[in-house]
Structure 1
Amino acid sequence: MIVRTLAEAKASGRRIVSPDNNWESTRMLLKNDNMGFSFHITTIYAGADFRMHYQNHLESVYCVSGEGEVETLADGKKYPIAPGTLYILDQHDEHILRAFSEMTMACVFNPPLSGKEVHNAEGAYELEAEAIES
């Protein structure tokens, strides 16, 4: 059994801050935990507005707190995000996430992230990245 607290994970080097200061993510469960997915608690900073396109991963995102919107670029549809909302990028959807206030999100990635990923120029995570040790 693996047991981790958010505070322990943040203190252990599992907290990653985006180079563009849009978000920070504490990677609670990673590839080297051998569960087949990764689980993250991510804070999207108020005012953030950025494009993502996870070409190598599928992601599900549950909003715990805060408000914003996600826009799918293929059709221009905008979806409000508030506590209790789950959005699922099941088609590698290219999208823009906007945070109207600071948002806390619970995120699941498949395949799992290794730990130190940040978005590349296309808004994706590379399939293989430097791992965080357990």
Structure 2
Amino acid sequence: MIVRTLSQCEKTERRIVSPDGNWESTRMQLKEDNTGFSFHITTIYQGKDFFMHYKNHFESVYCISGKGEIESLAEGKTYPIEPGTLYVLDQHDEHKLRAFEELKLACVFNPPLTGSEVHDQDGSYTLETAPLTS
């Protein structure tokens, strides 16, 4: 059994702040835990608007607090994000995320992250092994 608290993890190298100043993420569960996925509590700072494209990962995101929106670039649709909203990037979706208020999000990645990842220039995270196909 693995037991960790968010406050404990925030005081370690598991807390990552993006170099571009858009977000911070505390990676509570990682690849080294051997569970097949990683779990993060991520904060998107108020007023931030940026592009992401997880070409190598699937992600589920649950909004704990705050308000914003996600724009699906393939669909040309925008969806509101507020507490209780879940969105799933199940097609390696290119998207823009906007935080009207600070967003606090619970995120699950498959395959799991190793811990220190930040977005590449193309909006993705690097993968150690072959990417998943949908």
Which TM-score bucket, shorter chain as reference? over 0.9
Identity %: 72
**Residues of 2 paired with 1:68 and 1:75: CA distance?**
18
Equivalent residue of 1:32, what SS? helix
| Matches for 1:33-52 after TM superposition, within 5 Å | 33-52=33-52
| Other-structure match for 1:58 | 58
Per-residue Cα deviation, 1:59-115 (whole angstroms, up to 9, x for no partner) = 000000000000000121000000000000000000000000001000000000000
Equivalent residue of 1:12, what SS? coil
Equivalent residue of 1:62, what SS? strand
| Other-structure match for 1:26 | 26
| Other-structure match for 1:2 | 2
Unpaired stretches in structure 1, ≥5 consecutive residues: 129-134
| Matches for 1:57-96 after TM superposition, within 5 Å | 57-96=57-96
Q: Structure 1 stretches (4+) deviating beyond 2 angstroms?
A: none
Please, what is the CA RMSD of the aligned residues? Answer: 0.5
Q: CA deviation at 1:28?
A: 0.2
**Residues of 2 paired with 1:6 and 1:96: CA distance?**
27
Q: CA deviation at 1:13?
A: 1.4
Q: CA deviation at 1:12?
A: 1.7
In the comparison of the two structures, how many residue pairs are matched?
128
Q: TM-score, normalised by structure 1?
A: 0.95
**Residues of 1 paired with 2:125 and 2:77: CA distance?**
23
Equivalent residue of 2:88, what SS? strand
**Residues of 1 paired with 2:13 and 2:126: CA distance?**
20
**Residues of 2 paired with 1:82 and 1:69: CA distance?**
8
**Residues of 2 paired with 1:26 and 1:34: CA distance?**
18
| Other-structure match for 1:126 | 126
**Residues of 1 paired with 2:106 and 2:51: CA distance?**
19
**Residues of 1 paired with 2:68 and 2:99: CA distance?**
4
**Residues of 1 paired with 2:75 and 2:31: CA distance?**
33
Equivalent residue of 1:7, what SS? helix
**Residues of 2 paired with 1:27 and 1:109: CA distance?**
10
**Residues of 2 paired with 1:3 and 1:78: CA distance?**
37
